[in-house]
Structure 1
């Protein structure tokens, strides 16, 4: 007896199947039925089950100022890699970094050779005293998420994770932590000690050639550090006296540097490497008012109105203030003063002992990534919170950014199917494509002969909608704002 696949799927042949197998069933001794196994949890994304361990991003204060959010989730039990989410916390794009023990750090949009790109760091994190020191390289990807190049440190060392700046010269600025032999007896350490020198490199991206290098120990005294020396069995491990964690460019082209362990930020001459001024720490060249004092800070930047900003952790190896903040201050180089301008605080007054960043947005607002605390906030110019969200409590993201981003992924849309109540449920997604506005399902008996059967507005990373009945095959098409097809999945057979 022949039974059609369609009859099996629709259930009309159920009795016939049992009858056809009657001889087999009748000739077998009846056994007690084993307990049915517990049903498996449904996948988070039926079209992309490989992303089931992607951590959820929760938005607690909705906002709609535009732009996407860039994160690098890090947790032992979740997927790690660069992640873009929208203002509702729904994923837009994710890429898992390679194993083993590799993480992604500092994921953000930049410009290279006049075109938008994405950059992030990949590597492993080590260090002493709980302070992260990276060994890795930077990835540069285009608007189709294709890798353009990888940026590596010159010499034998590897690039540190803390920051990367692509310049309009076609160069890249980043840090290297270089362990060098150093006599630490003046600080109470061993004569044959090791110092982590903070080395700023500028590399020509196209050729990998080093065009500039700045070594901190030539300009910043080891005695300026607030970090304790390694002790006991760790005494000969590298002393991370500086812990440089950001680099940026001032409006006059000179370098702006932040060093967490000296509680100081530096303006450095782009050509000579001389320190023009330092703010904060034990040897500040400018007088800092009480409200502008910072410690264990990250992410020193110049703002459009001429002020400067840092992410003031206020906590690290020691706790100096009750909460972390985005701090804005003004510098008067003639009067040699630093005066408070504003601070941006999380509604829960979070304290972030490590990591974090604070950036001005194009509309005058500001965006804060709270580092070790898995939170981010967007603030209006007056400091009020207009968007807030977070990763799961066991997670963190070294930095968080918000920016406009448009991309056209080069792979196909993904399709997942299930049968429910006599209908087929379609789940469609397209990792990274920002131009999808609607989804259309086409179905039928042959892959080459499918007719439109259902449409739905895009609803987050994965859109789920029904197709009437149980067809042989289904394909989904991604539609843009004008209703034009911009991508199509493969034709997938429906299976119960």
Structure 2
């Protein structure tokens, strides 16, 4: 049994892993062909979440919370493949520093997800909703609206129950109480072009609209179509004049968001008419238009190709809305910068005035998609911060109510974007995964007497884990022995322990030391070339290693107490009288001689120890190079302290 694992090996492995593997990966120039714009985890090799570049300008003013983001690479469904691919796109949750909390990409095998957001209006718990895109060239898989709970398990699947060809990607909003939800609709129809001064001509036009759906049954309880309410002439997206549009059709209105107020009326954003509509929940007539060719308001601002128009809670006698003024599309622009707007509407005087505006921090344009979110104020008083998703490259930012930029973040490579990005205050959300933590462990050695077991653990979606306890056992049915603890600082945590620990497990603890969950018991992996290295090792019994450590600690404590007692006895009366003076001179002479001898012995010991350290370091580096190199290795000073038993043993022997 290995009873004297080397702390030198621990140090070399830590240094090599952190400063070679991890540091090189972070400082290397982003090259998407190598995948270093993605996270990598030992315990979850299937998860390759996009990495964020985060800039925090005022951490004290930020709202502590989590980002709900759904990265995608290509907006249309991709063809299925038999090749194995890691999970990269789909619903993801990150903390405010860009650390991954949860990846749901593997749930749907890299199918696109849109409008991923927290839902806080169903009950006292936090839920999640998103749109799962329709499948590639499979008309039977039309996509759906999904509602998940805080255990990351689906509660409701809202599918297509009418004649729609697919669940539209733009909106899935769960309304108060969770009984109904809103979605956009697109229907291609043959339409007469008389409104455009071309009577007798017909072509395929995409008719935009929305529906309110019973969340439990999928039944449509209210539906509205632009066909009978918005003329083709309102469109600012030109139809070809030299030919009639065929399939899929002329998208003359392009609805992209819908909301509902307490009066039962609906707020609809239409991108290609540059108009926001208030629509009656009674008979579907248009109550008013804001913007576009037929605006009913006197405005002190303009907007172009807007997204995500939403009601903002306000006083009973006024209407306040928020939306993103993209100010551009793929081929045109009306301004040089995109802006998030909060607008007050006076429906008596029919005036519209900007209350607040928040320019895109990098001075660029968001030509597609995006959203604006008014965060709740943690103190319950005054206005909350404003969170804006700028879509392209997952860019988003947070502002104070006064407009001060607090933070900004984006994916480190341009190949990913997110249709919308939302933020949820952290005190409202407690992710409790139904699956257990994932653990993997590996054994490394520089000699038969120097072995180290390296643990990795993660728990996809767990928000309340503060630390990890690590355990080992001689057999799968043996009692667990605690071998160490580390604070959780990243999605995946790493820990090193002396010895060849065969059967291992991990326990997740909250900030108060309460158990949140256990991993399964797993066996440690050995390098494939173990036998070729000339090493012949047997697993250690962790209970005996623990007993040895207790014994050594007791011995050291006893020796320290004995030394203290001897010092007290020797100090009493030693300088009394002439005899004491002679004793003093003798002690001085002995001390001088002892110092000289100790210097000579110390140099000899140090030379031998240095040679031993060099040999062990070379062997450890060689062993590490033969094994795997990993990224995402969080550093914790407490880990190396767990080799204290070996250091004491080494000190005692020298």
Same fold (TM over 0.5): yes
Per the alignment, residue 214 of structure 1 pairs with: 224
Select the residue among 463, 466, 474 that pairs with 1:437: 466
- The correspondence of residues 107-186 of structure 1 with structure 2, limited to 5 A, is 107-111=116-120, 113-114=122-123, 115-124=125-134, 136-157=143-164, 158-168=166-176, 170-184=179-193, 186=195
Per the alignment, residue 253 of structure 1 pairs with: 264
The alpha-carbon distance between structure 1 residues 360 and 49, as it changes in their structure 2 partners (threshold 3 A), is: same
The alpha-carbon distance between structure 1 residues 125 and 215, as it changes in their structure 2 partners (threshold 3 A), is: farther
- The correspondence of residues 75-474 of structure 1 with structure 2, limited to 5 A, is 75=73, 79-96=88-105, 102-111=111-120, 113-114=122-123, 115-124=125-134, 136-157=143-164, 158-168=166-176, 170-184=179-193, 186-187=195-196, 191-229=201-239, 235-237=245-247, 238-289=249-300, 292-305=301-314, 306-316=319-329, 317-363=331-377, 364-391=384-411, 392-404=413-425, 405-420=429-444, 422-447=451-476, 448-474=478-504
The alpha-carbon distance between structure 1 residues 257 and 45, as it changes in their structure 2 partners (threshold 3 A), is: same
SS of the residue 2:205 aligns to: strand
- Equivalent residues of 2:370, 2:420 under 8 A apart: yes
- Equivalent residues of 2:288, 2:296 under 8 A apart: yes
Structure showing greater radius of gyration is 2
Distance 1:138 1:260 in 2: 22
The alpha-carbon distance between structure 1 residues 113 and 58, as it changes in their structure 2 partners (threshold 3 A), is: same
Q: Which has the higher strand share?
A: 1
Select the residue among 33, 37, 40 that pairs with 1:44: 40
**Structure with larger RCO (C-alpha < 8 A, sep 6+):** 2
Per the alignment, residue 540 of structure 2 pairs with: none
What value does the CA root-mean-square deviation take over the aligned residues? 2.7
Structure 1: 5+ residue stretches without partners: 11-39, 127-133
- Equivalent residues of 2:54, 2:407 under 8 A apart: yes
Q: Which has the higher helix share?
A: 2
Distance 1:370 1:231 in 2: 34
Per the alignment, residue 52 of structure 2 pairs with: 57
Distance 1:208 1:250 in 2: 21
SS of the residue 1:107 aligns to: strand
The alpha-carbon distance between structure 1 residues 263 and 97, as it changes in their structure 2 partners (threshold 3 A), is: farther
The alpha-carbon distance between structure 1 residues 443 and 243, as it changes in their structure 2 partners (threshold 3 A), is: same
The alpha-carbon distance between structure 1 residues 415 and 233, as it changes in their structure 2 partners (threshold 3 A), is: farther
Q: Residues 397-450 of structure 1: CA distance to partner in whole angstroms, max 9, x if unpaired?
A: 000000132221110101122334632221111011112111110013122322
Number of residue pairs aligned between Structure 1 and Structure 2: 452
- TM-score, with length taken from structure 2: 0.65
Instruction: Compute the displacement of 1:344 (Å).
Output: 0.7
- Equivalent residues of 1:294, 1:314 under 8 A apart: yes
Deviates more, 1:226-235 or 1:480-489: 226-235
Distance 2:142 2:204 in 1: 18
- Equivalent residues of 1:443, 1:472 under 8 A apart: yes
- Equivalent residues of 2:202, 2:244 under 8 A apart: no
- Equivalent residues of 2:93, 2:102 under 8 A apart: yes
Distance 1:97 1:223 in 2: 45
The alpha-carbon distance between structure 1 residues 414 and 466, as it changes in their structure 2 partners (threshold 3 A), is: same
- Equivalent residues of 1:441, 1:467 under 8 A apart: no
The alpha-carbon distance between structure 1 residues 388 and 253, as it changes in their structure 2 partners (threshold 3 A), is: same
Distance 1:235 1:253 in 2: 36
Q: Residues 191-218 of structure 1: CA distance to partner in whole angstroms, max 9, x if unpaired?
A: 2311111121111111222111111121
Q: Residues 434-471 of structure 1: CA distance to partner in whole angstroms, max 9, x if unpaired?
A: 12111110013122322011111111211112122221
SS of the residue 1:181 aligns to: strand
Distance 1:490 1:245 in 2: 45
SS of the residue 1:315 aligns to: coil
Distance 2:251 2:106 in 1: 27
Structure 2: 5+ residue stretches without partners: 7-34, 75-84, 378-383, 446-450, 527-654
Instruction: Compute the displacement of 1:182 (Å).
Output: 0.8
Deviates more, 1:68-77 or 1:292-301: 68-77
Distance 1:222 1:235 in 2: 13
